[in-house]
A and B are shown apart, each in its own frame.
Chain A
Amino acid sequence: MTAVIDNTSPAPAMVPLLSDLSSVSGRRRNKNMVMTVLMGVSVVVVGFVLLLVLITVVRKGWSIVVSEFPKWFTKDIQLSPRRAGPGMKAAIVGTIVATATATVIAVPLGIAGAIYLNEYGKRSAFARTLRFLTNVMAGVPSIVMGLFIYVFWVVPRGVDGLNAFSGALALACLMLPIVVRSTEEMLRLVPQNLRDASLALGATASRTTLTVVIPKAAPGIISGSLLAIARAAGETAPLIFTVGAAKATNWNPFSGTNTSLSLQIYANAKESFPTAQERAWGAALTLIALAFLFTFGARALSGRLSRTTES
């Protein structure tokens, strides 16, 4: 018999010198220091810009929002931009209605699309085409989305086409690729061995998706969708041609012109009157606060959700 492994030969000396363990070369130390400083500087710069924006908006927008409180939230917009005083209810409602409608359209569609791509289509030619189109769609400027909906949806309907729903369609086009991409990413992160566990117990692929994959990916899917919603809520361009220019509150997405906070910022900031300028700042503050509240609430929700599934 021939011995395959020779255990008797001594192992080569592999003991490192102690100096190897303790000394970091000068070049590496310098590199480390430069990088640390660079990163520190960028954090400060970014933080500073962010803080500057926030402070400016709060400082300039605060007075109109709180003066004669709560009129800012309960009264419609002044008919003449020249007139002083609060009233932004129409825009707050318009933003909520258009964004909510867009969410109802884009989020389920986007999640369904992502489930198809990751769980069924995978690397098939159709799935690859779909993925490519989604990426293209993500790159389309928002004003082009607005124009697209204007030409193909609003114009054929004439004046009746100007409503929150038309705006929501444009916003949904904007949200859809964000939702699809972030959801697919989250589904991809679900370990294959969880799917295997479910399949091995006799579950069908669709049952596995519903009871194992989606619950596991839910926190990520939710935060991706939130990002899309927050993005849509602040968009102006897709709404310019699609919702009209109302000053009165309209809760109905399907009929009657509407407005939004972003449109009001745009319209009022264009005016030279200080009254309108102040209104624009107030609308900006409201939009930021709304987005903040929304993100915060949703974070808490998805946090609770992930806690119940993880522990």
Chain B
Amino acid sequence: MTEKVHTMHEPADESVDSAARSTGGVAAPANKLIFSVNDLSVDYGAFTAVRDVTLGIYANDITAFIGPSGCGKSTVLRCFNRMNDTIKSAKVHGSILYHDIDLYGPTISATQVRRHIGMVFQKPNPFPKSIYDNVAYGPRLAGLKNKSELDELVETSLRGAALWDEVKDRLKSSALGLSGGQQQRLCIGRALAVKPDVILMDEPCSALDPIATARIEDLMQEIKQQYTIIIVTHNMQQAARVSDRTAFFTTEVNSESDRRTGVLVEYGRTDSIFSQPVDDRTEQYVTGRFG
């Protein structure tokens, strides 16, 4: 593990990570805190989809969000790059600090946020354009026109996404001709081309077969050296395999309505979440007796 030098003791570390719970054994050196989420709640109209989420995300970690469907994993994930702005009824309360900047601050532009925090979606969604144009889309948005620089960036991004060797001879052909797994790696490469800091992945493998899934998981291990990854998955084995930290969400019945609101139950190092969960609900979920 290439842990970043632990500059200073960060007070948020202990309090946020593993909510007043020993991580067991020797405390592993924590990476730098990159996001700190405080009392985050999201409403869709009058319905509160998820409430009171407080956690910290660490640089170069893979953080997994797990939990039964409908517990607000995607909703929380989409707060990190302000994708919820695109949903009219969605309202975000609380704050997300990204390197100490409030992402929902009045002067923050959502488009700029998204250039730092990329996203890969559940269903591969390449543009109906060539493979090259897909990867070049983000850099072109940022104003890059120079052909040789673009070529180089496309190559490094596709190499970064472990797709280069498969597509280098057909960069000009349509991205829609790729297999599902290749399309998803293309989407990862397309996100990498913007040179983000963080990559959000919302169930990136749920539409893929096991072999394509394994490739994406390997890829995540490779790119975590340079990026911070947050992945939503409802596959617990996947969370256990790939992630450093795991946040378990579930739903609670509302007092005022019969709709269920998502809450964060437990957050900590993946091995301890899976081997010695503190909360009963977490234990039931990770042992497969619930959800």
The answer to whether the Cβ of A271 comes within 8 Å of any Cβ in the partner chain is no
Contact indicator A202/B289 (Cβ below 8 Å): no
Residue interface bits B126-170, CB-to-A below 8 A is 1, else 0 = 111100000001100110000000000000000000000000000
State which residues 289-311 of A face B: CB under 8 Å. Answer: 309-311
Contacts of B141 in A (CB 8 A): 201-203, 207
Give A30 to B16 CA distance when docked, in angstroms.
70
Once the chains bind, are B114 and A311 in contact (CB under 8 Å)?
no
A212 on the B face (CB < 8 A):
yes
Interface residues of A in 186-226 (CB under 8 A from B): 191, 193-204, 207, 211-212, 215-216
The reply on B191 being an interface residue by CB < 8 A is yes
Q: What interface size band does chain B fall in? A: 20 to 34
Residues B121 and A309 in contact, CB atoms below 8 Å apart: no
Distance in angstroms between the alpha carbons of A121 and B290 in the assembled complex: 43
The residue on A at minimum CB distance from B140 is: A211
Residue A200 contacts which of B81, B173, B176 (CB distance < 8 angstroms)? B81
> A194, A195, A198, A200 — which one has the most chain B CB atoms within 10 A of its CB?
A200
Q: Verify A200–B83 contact, CB threshold 8 A.
A: yes
Those 7 A-B pairs whose CB atoms lie nearest each other, nearest first: A202-B115, A200-B119, A201-B138, A193-B125, A202-B114, A197-B125, A311-B174
Complex Cα gap A103–B137 (Å): 32
Q: Are B176 and A194 in contact (CB under 8 A)?
A: no
- Contact status B88-A311, CB under 8 Å: no
Docked Cα-Cα span, A279 to B92, in Å, equals 71
What are 23 residue pairs bridging A and B, where the CB atoms are less than 8 Å apart in the complex?
A: A3-B289, A4-B289, A4-B290, A193-B121, A193-B125, A195-B86, A196-B86, A196-B125, A197-B121, A197-B187, A197-B190, A200-B81, A200-B83, A200-B119, A201-B114, A201-B118, A201-B191, A202-B114, A202-B115, A202-B142, A203-B137, A310-B128, A311-B177
Contact A202 B194 (CB under 8 A): yes
Is the beta-carbon distance between B176 and A201 smaller than 8 angstroms? no
Number of A-B contacts (CB under 8 A): 73
By beta carbon, the residue of chain B nearest A2 is: B289
Nearest-Cβ distance from residue B133 to partner chain A, whole angstroms: 10
Q: Give Cα distance in the complex from A191 to B122, angstroms.
A: 14
Minimal Cβ-Cβ distance residue in A for B128: A309
Cβ 8 A contact of B88, one of A122, A194, A196, A199 = A122
Asked if A194 and B137 make an inter-chain contact with CB atoms under 8 angstroms apart, the answer reads no
Q: Which residue of A lies closest to B287 (CB)?
A: A1
Q: How far is the CB of A191 from chain B (nearest CB, A)?
A: 8
The residue among B86, B118, B121 with the most chain A CB atoms within 10 A of its own CB is B86
CB distance from A70 to the nearest CB of B (A): 44
Task: State the main secondary structure of chain B at its contact with A.
Answer: mixed
Q: How large is the interface on A (under 10, 10 to 19, 20 to 34, 35 or more residues)?
A: 20 to 34
> Does the CB pair A212–B127 fall under 8 Å?
yes
Any A CB within 8 A of the CB of B221? no
Residues from chain A with Cβ under 8 Å of B115 in the complex? 201-202
Q: Is B255 an interface residue (CB 8 A)?
A: no
B290 to chain A: closest residue by CB: A4
Known A197-B187, A199-B111, A201-B191; 16 more pairs at CB < 8 Å: A4-B289, A5-B289, A193-B121, A193-B123, A197-B190, A199-B83, A200-B114, A200-B118, A200-B119, A200-B121, A202-B111, A202-B112, A202-B194, A216-B128, A310-B174, A311-B177
A30 to chain B, nearest CB (A): 43
Tell whether, in the assembled complex, residue A194 and residue B114 are in contact, meaning their CB atoms are under 8 Å apart: no
In the docked arrangement, what's the CA distance between A196 and B115, Å?
A: 13
Residue pair A198, B86 in contact (C-beta under 8 Å): no
| CB neighbors of B among A1-27 (8 A) | 3-5
Q: Report Cα–Cα, A310/B111, bound state, in Å.
A: 27
* Bound-state Cα–Cα, A196 to B123, Å: 11
A201-B137 CB under 8 A given contacts A4-B289, A196-B125 = yes
Chain A residues whose CB sits within 8 angstroms of the CB of B194 once the complex forms = 201-202
Residues in B neighbouring A4, C-beta threshold 8 A: 289-290
What CA separation (Å) do A309 and B130 show in the bound complex? 8
Note all chain B residues with C-beta closer than 8 A to A195: 86
Q: How many Å lie between the Cα of A66 and that of B73 in the bound state?
A: 73
